[in-house]
Structure 1
Amino acid sequence: MSTGEELRGRIALVAGATRGAGRAMAVALGEAGATVYVTGRTTRTAVSEVGRSTETIEETADLVTAAGGEGIAVPTDHLEPAQVRALTERIDHDHGRLDILINDVWGGDHLLEFPFGGKMWEYGLDKGLRMLRLGVETHIVTSHFALPLLVRRPGGLVIEVTDGTAESNRTYREQFYYDLAKTAPIRMAYALGEELRDLGCTAVALTPGWLRSEAMLDTYFKVTEETWRDGIAQDPAFAISESPAYVGRAAAALATDPEVARWNGRSLSSGGLAKVYGFTDTDGSRPDAWSYLAAKAKDPTTNAADYR
């Protein structure tokens, strides 16, 4: 559990912190005392193409501050290089350093076409390319401008957030564009790890399991975080789901680990890291969704309860 001082004086940028995993990671860094810049396109006066006005970057910043850090909301479209350059110049001007970069920009769920399993040419090209821009190009643009600031000091950490591990994503994700969008950050972390190693910095890929994001709860399952178990009746596999706080704690564990370089270039998961660092989800459990899914693929009778 954080003492609120482990990251005091450290500066973090969570790109894509409006909701879900990004918000939770920003708050967890705040709990450890960090100053956290939170970015996104949905603000109290503007709504992104995702179409959810109920979560804003200002709200995320307030949660970071309430947790014990300092949250700073900066509206940013990470597909616009000028905006990202201005963001990093502001961080440089105000602090002269960047210690943690979390690339969590996504916002592509509304572009998914169902059912999965079709051929790539059967899906809309415009939607597919937009998905790749949101899930891949944004990360590249952000790293281009943020890394020169991060590498000024040894010990910098980059976390590429995705869906799936290197092992799980060896299996096709059943939709061409989604597969590329979620596999690319894993390779990015490996490549950046190679480039950052001799500068004393670390890059990793990090995935949650089945994330109980705001949209997952209220749009797909029609439940709340308090009543999420009611969703198991709709899909028994939902029993292995996890709150955003779980992956937030995973990110904070990495950021506060003085030996984080041992993970350089690796693909990591919230469930896997919980076993190493000892943190739990909000209910005290340690769900390991990716291990569960791998076991279930071999034995359909596998019980999710055995992986919490």
Structure 2
Amino acid sequence: MNAVAFPVRSPRRRSALAEPEPAQRVALVSGANRGLGLEVARQLAADGITVLLGARNALAGEKAARQLRREGGAVVAVALDVTSPADVRALASRIDREYGRLDILINNAGAYFDVDNEASSVDMDVVRQALETNLLGAWQLTEAMLPLMRRHGYGRIVNVSSGCGAIDSEGTSCPAYRVSKAALNSHTRMLATELSGSGILVNAVCPGWVATDMGGHGGRPVAEGAAGIVWAATLPSRPAIHGGFFRDRVRIDW
């Protein structure tokens, strides 16, 4: 399939849907106390969006949020372990109570980049844990937050995926991670089909190999990887870019 590039941002205009201005939007970023998630939170906050910075460790989350507030962002640390149904339910209730809406959900929390494993010898516990975080965590968080988007007929859901989860991706390393991201891609497509026409746009984004704790040294600057995620999180309602898999705003194969 030929690669198609999309613009970073079309001129702002009101659509038939109630598209909120950046200063009115509320975003939740999971796994955001460091690395890619932190940079996504930084870029969203710089755009004037209120950012809920999700972190499993409350102290680490508050430290990261405080850093972004010093930079001028409206950032609030929230406790969130995406594998905990109790955490997810409690956060959904808190957002409903304190904000009454959620406009952007970035399913960024990810783990188990098992680079030294192969499909024939991987520890099944690692596979289960990768699926629990990378697939089921994103799935249950999305399910809990959708009512807050449906209420206003507006939403942007971005699943942070990986090109190594593409069906035709070659390679034998990272089997647990690859399978979990392939499953996340499948969920993205199903959800996008279900939500077509709802005002809620759903896409998957591969940030590329970025220099983070998980990605290791040698990758691209984290700001470059985050930019494509922020683009998908702030898409205008028209034209509706929906149900795709992107890297650097260019559609790639599933």
If the TM-score is normalised by the length of the shorter chain, which range does it land in?
0.7 to 0.9
Give the distance between the partners of 2:76 and 2:238, measured in 1 at CA: 26
Q: Tell me what 2:235 maps to.
A: 257
Q: Tell me what 2:111 maps to.
A: 107
**Shift in Å, 1:260:** 6.2
**Shift in Å, 1:161:** 0.4
Q: Tell me what 1:140 maps to.
A: 139
Q: Tell me what 2:149 maps to.
A: 150
Q: Tell me what 2:162 maps to.
A: 163
Aligned pair count reads 235
2:64 maps to 1:86: no
Change (3 A) 1:74 1:269: same
Which amino acid counterpart does residue 189 of structure 1 have in structure 2? T
Give the distance between the partners of 1:190 and 1:13, measured in 2 at CA: 21
2:182 maps to 1:183: yes
2:24 maps to 1:26: no
Change (3 A) 1:153 1:184: same
Give the distance between the partners of 2:72 and 2:132, measured in 1 at CA: 34
Q: Tell me what 2:13 maps to.
A: none
Give the distance between the partners of 1:34 and 1:97, measured in 2 at CA: 13
**Shift in Å, 1:75:** 1.7
Which runs of 5 or more residues in structure 2 are unaligned? 1-7, 10-19
CA contact (8 A) 1:27 1:63 kept: no
Q: Tell me what 1:35 maps to.
A: 50
Higher relative contact order (CA 8 A, sep 6+): 2
* Between 147-156 and 58-67, the greater mean CA deviation after superposition: 58-67
CA contact (8 A) 2:33 2:55 kept: yes
SS of aligned partner of 1:180: helix
Give the distance between the partners of 1:212 and 1:74, measured in 2 at CA: 25
Deviations 1:201-249 (A, max 9, x none): 1100011111111454xxx54xxxxxxxxxxxxxxxx4xx322212322
Q: Tell me what 1:13 maps to.
A: 28
Change (3 A) 1:67 1:152: farther
**Shift in Å, 1:105:** 1.3
**Shift in Å, 1:155:** 2.7
Is the helix fraction higher in 1 or 2? 1
**Shift in Å, 1:132:** 1.2
Give the distance between the partners of 2:129 and 2:106, measured in 1 at CA: 21
* TM-score of the two chains, using structure 1 as the length reference: 0.69
**Shift in Å, 1:165:** 7.0
Which amino acid counterpart does residue 84 of structure 1 have in structure 2? V
CA contact (8 A) 1:15 1:105 kept: yes
Give the distance between the partners of 1:200 and 1:22, measured in 2 at CA: 25
Which runs of 5 or more residues in structure 1 are unaligned? 45-55, 222-237, 274-289, 292-308
Deviations 1:4-63 (A, max 9, x none): x9511101111111222211111111001111111121342xxxxxxxxxxx22233224
CA contact (8 A) 1:208 1:271 kept: no
Which amino acid counterpart does residue 158 of structure 2 have in structure 1? I
Deviations 1:89-127 (A, max 9, x none): 101101100000111111323xx261x4x343x111112
